[in-house]
Structure 1
């Protein structure tokens, strides 16, 4: 059985895959020099959304902020950046 931190990491990794693939569209939206900052802001908003989703699924008081940031935040950002790079290089096309 997976503990709460493991479930949080899995939920955030799935969200990282989704938002990482969508980040390529934000990056290619034609914002010029601000496209990188807009993409990082998009990924940060995705982290907040996944935090709320995991709070609804796992329970609002199940993890502290330190546990959530350590398990969910790191797995989300590493997964999102990897899938953004893969999508940008054309390995995965949506």
Structure 2
């Protein structure tokens, strides 16, 4: 027969609490690791973007069109001519 005494219910509640606490701590650790990886990735992406920006700026001000085109291709940016009209919002 099952015990339904208050002491037994308290013991079950404490066990459930410990189980959920353990699960929470594990999930918290997993999230912490994922946030660390996201932060590291953000830093790498920013570093790459700043380097590309620096290269594009240097190429532009030195008049090196081929280096500028190569850098803009890495940025995935197309140069627009002075006569071109603004693209429609549908083209974005």
Check whether TM > 0.5. no
TM-score where L is the length of structure 1:
0.29
TM-score where L is the length of structure 2:
0.30
Which protein has greater RCO, CA pairs closer than 8 Å, 6+ apart?
1
